């Protein structure tokens, strides 16, 4: 059936006795008007309340079982909030059950059969004592619907549609004929406003006369005294039974947890019990747990086990013995860290046992120094010997890194030189001059130089990082160096500073196909390696002259010929500088 929210509402038990009797008689096929259609519908409200009672019972069982005897669950012991839950759930079980029984009883005692009745003048949804009544004079159409279940479809002016099942297709057709046949009779009765006719068509119309011997008192709804207080009844039972159930459940859960912990006889099981149990807490805390922890700590001989034991027993009477065991365990852990041969393993050990470093401070310092010494010794054994200043500088670099950390910064900067400007002016007079594109200064400006500097710094970082362990000495790109026009600042970390300037070699080159003019370049490089507080950096200087590689013009490529030529020239020269400088530090491969 469709919704009937727009229908008028009539409450059966508030009707006069005369109308009640008429409706009961009509609904029972005793006297007119008889129903043209009827669909028996059992109200679901009692089922809803019964379902709510069952859901409350299931929830009560679920809550009671949640965490029961579980050492790992915070819900193994239910607090006061859970007690309130027990009370409310028990109230739900009892209260909803009482309500369901009352409603079911009330429905079974109705003087008519619950359902949907179609009378000539009105359709009455009488599934309970509260009726929804729709006037049939608003009916637009009544049609028989064929299918697995025959139905009669009623359509009203409001757009409401109501489908009522019937026994078979013949019954559906007959009902449609009857409903449509009564339309004129209903209309005429309403126009004449004849009470007698209307009473014969509408079971809810007040009759003009009633039997003098008929009962005067209206039917009354079934309402035993306890029905109105269903929730109070449930809450009362909950208040009495809930706390008892709560206490019994917690006691049983605690006993099961204690038995489980005792059977496992482990640190974890006893700690889990202390986290959630109560009844045997003193025995577990003072006797069982300390005994289990001490045995495990001695057997494991690890700093963690002993530290855990010390933390859990601050008033231990055997502190000298515990300290001796702790030192032994720390030395064993330090020996394991030394096996990797890395500073990271030793640092991890030191960080992990920072509070206990005093027990093995001397041994830890010696182990960390051994890592630096081993790396330095291995380097010096194969270091290049061409520049005698390299080895002493690397030794000082290692000393700095051991004292202050591994970070080494690589920076680059460019000095300007006016000779390239002279090359620009000179080329203006050359017959193959192509305009601004021929000016060499365009290809050695800040943008071009920074690109080459970043590439060079990247090569330095990559290749030097392959020489030393990054955890001991780590090269990092640090961007642009200090202003060349200013004195060198006091660096706070070791800094490798690459300084370069490009100068005109005074050589010029012309080509007719393709047409163009170019100049040779002298690249001046200075690479200085500074250590904070050391007045003598490791210095390296070299000038590299480069002629115009005109062969590049015969190869296809992107950009102008001038850009490609000077970029190729600079790339080759920077790579040559990188190889020559790094050869003074990086051992040659054998």
In a domain, 1, yes or no: no
Q: How far is CA 564 from CA 52, 182, 348, 552, 571, in A?
A: 84, 102, 51, 7, 10
| 347/395 same-domain check | no
Quick one: which of 526, 489, 488, 534 has its CA closest to 393?
534
In a domain, 590, yes or no: no
In a domain, 273, yes or no: yes
Residue 590 has pLDDT above 80, yes or no: no
In a domain, 375, yes or no: no
| 187/305 same-domain check | no
Quick one: which of 153, 147, 129 has its CA closest to 1?
153
Point out the domain boundary residue: 313, 336, 365.
365
| 131/26 same-domain check | yes
Q: Which domain holds residue 150?
A: 8-201
In a domain, 220, yes or no: no
Report angle CA 119, 125, 127 to the nearest 5 degrees. Answer: 130
Q: pLDDT over 90 for what percent of the chain? A: 37
| 323/405 same-domain check | no
156-201 pLDDT, tens digit each = 888 888 888 988 888 888 888 888 888 888 888 888 887 777 888 8
Structure letter (DSSP) for residue 34: P
341-353 pLDDT, tens digit each = 888 898 888 888 8
Range from 120-124, 198-202, 508-512 carrying the lowest mean pLDDT: 198-202
| 295/408 same-domain check | no
| 125/160 same-domain check | yes
Higher-confidence position of 468 and 6: 468
In a domain, 552, yes or no: yes
Residue 2 has pLDDT above 50, yes or no: no
Does the predicted model carry a pTM greater than 0.75? no
Quick one: which of 12, 34, 32 has its CA closest to 118?
34
Q: What is the mean pLDDT of residues 372-381?
A: 93
What pLDDT score was predicted for residue 3? 39
| 111/16 same-domain check | yes
Residue 213 has pLDDT above 60, yes or no: no
The tokens for 437 are: 């594109």
| 418/567 same-domain check | yes
Three-state DSSP string of 284-337: HHHHHHHHHHHHHHHHHCCHHHHHHHHHHCCCCCCHHHHHHHHHHHHHHHHHHH
Point out the domain boundary residue: 173, 201, 229.
201
| 84/145 same-domain check | yes
In a domain, 460, yes or no: yes
| 56/195 same-domain check | yes
Range from 172-181, 397-406, 464-473 carrying the lowest mean pLDDT: 172-181
Average pLDDT score, the chain: 87
- Domain count across the chain: 3
Residue 1 has pLDDT above 50, yes or no: no
Residue 139 pLDDT grade (very low, low, confident, very high; cuts 50, 70, 90): confident
Report angle CA 73, 74, 77 to the nearest 5 degrees. Answer: 100
In a domain, 258, yes or no: no
| 406/525 same-domain check | yes
| 361/387 same-domain check | no
Backbone angles phi and psi of 165, in degrees to 5: -65, 145
Point out the domain boundary residue: 330, 365, 400.
365
Cα–Cα dist 550/554, whole Å: 8
The most confident of the ranges 193-202, 313-322, 480-489, 561-570 is 561-570
Q: What is the mean pLDDT of residues 257-278?
A: 85
């Amino acid at each position: 059936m469709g919704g009937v929210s727009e229908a008028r509402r009539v409450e059966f038990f508030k009707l006069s006795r005369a109308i009640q009797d008429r409706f009961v008689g009509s609904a029972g096929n005793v006297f007119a008007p008889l129903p043209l259609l009827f669909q028996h519908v059992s109200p679901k409200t009692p089922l809803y309340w019964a379902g709510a009672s069952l859901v409350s019972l299931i929830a009560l069982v679920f809550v009671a079982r949640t965490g029961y005897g579980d050492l790992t669950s915070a819900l193994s012991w239910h607090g006061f909030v859970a007690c309130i839950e027990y009370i409310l759930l028990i109230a739900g079980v009892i209260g909803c059950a009482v309500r369901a029984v009352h409603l079911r009883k009330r429905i079974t005692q109705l003087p008519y059969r619950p359902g949907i009745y179609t009378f000539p003048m009105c359709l009455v949804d009488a599934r309970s004592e509260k009726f929804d009544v729709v006037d049939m004079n608003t009916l637009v159409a009544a049609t028989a619907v064929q299918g697995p279940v025959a139905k009669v479809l009623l359509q009203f002016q409001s757009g409401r549609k109501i489908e009522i099942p019937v026994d078979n297709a013949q019954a559906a057709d007959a009902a449609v004929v009857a409903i449509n046949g009564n339309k004129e009779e209903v209309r005429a009765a309403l126009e004449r406003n004849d009470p007698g006719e209307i009473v014969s068509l509408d079971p809810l119309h007040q009759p003009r006369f009633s039997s003098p011997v008929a009962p005067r008192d209206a039917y009354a709804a079934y309402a035993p005294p306890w029905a109105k207080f269903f929730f109070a009844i449930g809450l009362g039972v909950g208040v009495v039974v809930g706390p008892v159930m709560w206490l019994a459940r917690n006691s049983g859960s605690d006993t099961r947890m204690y038995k489980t912990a005792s059977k496992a006889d482990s640190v974890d099981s006893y700690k889990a019990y202390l986290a959630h149990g109560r009844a045997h807490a003193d025995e577990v805390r003072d006797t069982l747990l300390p005994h289990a922890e001490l045995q495990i700590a001695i057997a494991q001989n690890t700093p963690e086990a002993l530290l855990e034991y010390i933390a859990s027993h601050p008033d231990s009477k055997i502190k000298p013995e515990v300290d001796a065991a702790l030192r032994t365990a720390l030395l064993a852990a330090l020996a394991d860290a030394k096996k990797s041969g890395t500073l990271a393993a030793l640092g991890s050990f030191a960080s992990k046992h920072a509070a206990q470093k005093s027990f093995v401070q001397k041994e830890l310092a010696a182990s960390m120094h051994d890592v630096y010494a081993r790396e330095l010794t291995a380097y010096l054994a194969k270091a290049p010997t061409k520049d005698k200043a390299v080895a002493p500088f690397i030794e000082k670099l290692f000393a700095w890194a051991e004292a202050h950390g591994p970070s080494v910064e690589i920076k680059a900067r460019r000095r300007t030189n006016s000779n390239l400007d002279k090359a620009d002016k000179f080329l203006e007079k050359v017959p193959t001059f192509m305009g601004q594109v021929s000016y060499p200064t365009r290809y050695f400006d800040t943008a071009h130089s920074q690109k080459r500097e970043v590439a060079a710094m990247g090569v330095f970082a990559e290749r030097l990082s392959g020489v030393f362990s990054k955890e001991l000495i780590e090269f990092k790109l640090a961007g642009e160096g200090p202003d060349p026009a200013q004195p060198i600042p006091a660096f706070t970390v070791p800094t490798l500073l690459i300084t370069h300037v490009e100068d005109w070699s005074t050589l010029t080159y012309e080509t007719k196909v393709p047409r163009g003019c170019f100049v040779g370049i002298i690249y001046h490089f200075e690479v200085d390696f500074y250590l904070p507080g050391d007045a003598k950096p490791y210095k390296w200087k070299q000038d590299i002259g480069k002629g115009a590689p005109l062969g590049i013009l015969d190869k296809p490529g992107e950009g102008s010929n001038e850009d490609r030529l000077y970029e190729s020239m600079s790339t080759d020269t920077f790579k040559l500088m990188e190889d020559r400088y790094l050869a003074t530090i990086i051992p040659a491969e054998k």
